[in-house]
Amino acid sequence: MAEETEEIIEGEPDEHEIDAEARERRAVALAHVRKFGDPVLRTRAREIDVFDDALRDEVTRMGELMVDAVGVGLAATQLGVLHRLLVYRVQQDSPVIALVNPEIEWRGDDEEIAEEGCLSLPTVLVDVERPVHVRVRGLDEYGEPVLIEATGLEARVIQHELDHLDGVLILDRTTRDQRREAMRALREAQSPAAA
């Protein structure tokens, strides 16, 4: 389990690991994801109280988008929908898990630093320290209670996505130096003419 935490959250896949068709699918998926500078990424999402077919369709769509984007997690906020819904899938071929109104009800004392990326922050990779173990309470897409004891990468992904629902980005959770470096990279990527 310890090794898994070295993996990158939502990050860039190795170019050689995906073929041209998968790259194209990824580009299409990424076009739907709100990027740094979009104010929705800094807005706290609202609780969900209606569990209907529209919500379940949204979960399906988010799961597909996340898989196409080669991410391991996605928050509704990243698609510009400001309600408290996230999906994740830590292991390939395992089902996508949806969490509605998730709350961390317990954090272990052990913390670990690992590199994280974010679909909303292209090219950025920063070190983020997070608790290794968390217990998360929430609802599934049918409104049924869910309790998840998560460790390692799963715990990290849930915390990363839950941060999105609160308008928090990995830039807020890294060191000052890494934040400064990331901001510079983001500015350069957004205004190539100025480079």
Active site residues: 161
Taking the C-alpha atoms of residue 65 and residue 74, their distance in angstroms, rounded to an integer, is 9
The smaller minimum CB distance to Zn ion, of residues 10 and 154, is found at: 10
Should residue 162 be labelled a site residue for Zn ion when binding is judged by CB under 5 A? Answer: no
Find the shortest distance in angstroms from Cβ 70 to Zn ion: 13
Neighbouring-strand partners of residue 73? 88
Q: CA dihedral defined by 186, 187, 188, 190, rounded to 10 degrees?
A: 80
Which DSSP letter does residue 46 get?
Answer: B
Interface region with Zn ion, contact rule CB under 5 A, candidates 20-28, 112-120, 134-142, 184-192: 112-120
Q: Which of 69, 118, 132, 162 binds Zn ion (CB under 5 A)?
A: 118
Binding segment (CB under 5 A) for Zn ion, from list 2-10, 33-41, 88-96, 175-183: 2-10
Contacts for 68 with CB less than 8 Å, ≥ 6 apart: 25, 26, 28, 29
Q: Least distance in Å: CB of 130 to Zn ion? A: 13
Closest CB to Zn ion among 33 and 132?
33
Whose structure tokens read 């909303």? 120
3-class secondary structure, 41: helix
How near is the Cβ of 109 to Zn ion at its closest, in Å? 25
The HSE-up count of residue 179 (CA atoms within 13 Å, CB side) is 9
Site string for Zn ion, 9-48 (x = CB under 5 A): -x--------------------------------------
Output DSSP code: residue 171: G
**In this complex, which beta carbon is closest to Zn ion, that of residue 118 or of residue 125?**
118
Least distance (Å) from Zn ion to the CB of residue 53?
Answer: 27
Cα torsion through 170, 174, 176, 179, rounded to 10: -30
Number of residues that bind Zn ion (CB under 5 A): 2
Residues in contact with Zn ion by CB under 5 A are: 10, 118
